[in-house]
Amino acid sequence: MPSDATPDPYADPLRFGQRVQVLRERRGMTQAQLADLVGISPHTLRKIENGQQKAPGLSMVMRIAEALRVRDLADLTGLPETHVDLFVGPGHPRLAEVKAAIDTFTLASDVEPPPVAHLEARLHAAWKARHESKNHREAIGQLLPDLIRDAQALVRHADTAADRRAAQALLAQTYSLSQFFIAYQPDAALLWRVAERGMVAAQDSGDPHTIGVAAWLLAQAHRDSGARHFDAADAINLEAVRFLEPLLPDADDDLLAIAGALQFELGYTAARRRDTGVAWGHWDKANNMAARLPADYYHPITSFSQAIMGAHAVTVAVELHQGGESVRQAARADEHVIKSRPRRARHRIEEARGFQLDGQPDTALATLDKAFEAAPETIRYNGYARAIILEEVESTQSQRRQRASELAVKVGLLAA
């Protein structure tokens, strides 16, 4: 390695400040950007990175880990005993079986595929189970292996171009469901295979709604990979928006909803960049699309609806690190009930992030309790929730520390 090469925090025993600097630079962030995200001055961050100031306390370490999206806390601290996966949940017991179904390609043509209507009904039931089950990964993890194999068989046996397009649409939808199962589990390569295969199958289907859903999920995969992938996320989102735009005047509810969901995703990524005006501008466009939908409508995959826009506003405010605004938006969002259990739990986690930013850790923990009640498997796999809980487990206030410890046991971060 050249003498002037950037050191590798995963290979060399670096001090804490050096690790912060290396991980920050790998995320493509300036000192000013990271300092702003964690609430300290650039001068203070510079002293931490240069070793002129001792490593900060756990609460600041957790904020730095969240801002840099450090997946393993030990990568930031350099201490093996702090090995904690923050943004990757534990591997689900059914992950290996789902992975095997995705990775296996059967070339023989003697396997009889199911009727199209039968596979459609099973997929509909799987999405329903995903939204209604508290442990939604378990629910869909049972169904996915057979769904994947049957959808692939349906494509192989398609006799006409029309049949093949219909089969590819069902295969794309199966991969979309798979991505919800795989997200935040310890197999990033599998997530990418599913996201990309879903996009290819959607394009082969030629169905605008299917293409919109696949683009929505592929853009999320890019965005969640870090700041260096934000441009790729935006490119996919914008291409999908342009593709759907001519169809919107006569669009049905599902097509209008996926277009609205794509608009919000552009705002989400802008908020991650801390681009306030662009973020809220896209939220406004998505909100206008939601207003065109029936009041009781929910998109069957994304949950996009009039009711979800309040939750989306909380997310934008949180990503912009506007603590007070996120709390205000949370109060408005609670006027609506989100039908999907995992989406409701995700909203509670975003609310908890807002309360934590606003200096209300007790309310944040209470809100995470609500998230656990809605969907335990959502909070168990969510890095933001895990980071808040771990931070408060070290609180100097005994009651808060006890409450955080009890929640950590329920979530699986601490042994009972």
Q: What is the pLDDT of residues 79-101, one digit of tens each?
A: 665 555 565 667 899 999 999 99
- For the cut 60, the answer to whether the pLDDT of residue 7 exceeds it is no
Confidence class of residue 18 from pLDDT cuts 50, 70 and 90? confident
Contacts of 35 (CB under 8 A, 6+ apart): 41, 42, 44, 45
Determine the average pLDDT of the residues in 148-165.
94
Q: How many angstroms separate the CA atoms of 116 and 6, rounded?
A: 54
Q: Is residue 25 part of a domain?
A: yes
Q: How many angstroms separate the CA atoms of 122 and 142, rounded?
A: 12
Q: How many angstroms separate the CA atoms of 363 and 179, rounded?
A: 31
Q: Is residue 10 part of a domain?
A: no
Q: Is residue 287 part of a domain?
A: no
pLDDT of 57 reads: 80
Q: Which of 51, 82, 113 is the last residue of a domain?
A: 82
Q: How many angstroms separate the CA atoms of 269 and 233, rounded?
A: 8
Strand partners, 85: 72
| Structure-model confidence comparison of residues 68 and 278, the more confident one | 278
Taking CA atoms, 12 is separated from 9, 16, 46, 77, 101, in Å, by: 6, 12, 21, 12, 38
The 10s digit of each residue's pLDDT in 188-221 is 899 999 999 999 999 999 999 999 999 999 999 9
Q: Is residue 255 part of a domain?
A: no
With 0-12 CB in 10 A as exposed, 13-18 as middle and 19+ as buried, what is 44?
middle
pLDDT of 27 reads: 75
Q: Is residue 23 part of a domain?
A: yes
Identify which of 357, 363, 361 has the alpha carbon closest to the alpha carbon of residue 390: 361
Q: Which of 65, 82, 99 is the last residue of a domain?
A: 82
Length of the chain: 416
| Cβ atoms within 10 Å of 96's Cβ, excluding its own | 11
Q: What residues make up the domain containing 57?
A: 16-82
The DSSP symbol for 90 reads: P
pLDDT of 37 reads: 80
As given in the structure block, the two tokens for residue 326 are 């996120």
> Chain-wide mean pLDDT for the chain?
89
Q: How many angstroms separate the CA atoms of 374 and 365, rounded?
A: 14
The DSSP symbol for 274 reads: T
For residue 29, what is the domain's CATH number?
1.10.260.40
With 0-12 CB in 10 A as exposed, 13-18 as middle and 19+ as buried, what is 292?
middle
pLDDT of 245 reads: 97
Q: What pTM, to 2 d.p., does this model score? A: 0.82
Domain count for the chain:
2
The 10s digit of each residue's pLDDT in 344-385 is 999 999 999 999 989 999 999 999 999 999 999 999 989 889
Q: Is residue 322 part of a domain?
A: yes
pLDDT of 12 reads: 44
- For the cut 50, the answer to whether the pLDDT of residue 250 exceeds it is yes
Buried/exposed 219-257: b ≥16 CB within 10 Å, e otherwise: bbbbbbbebebbeebbebbeebbeebeeeeeebeebbbb
Q: Is residue 299 part of a domain?
A: no
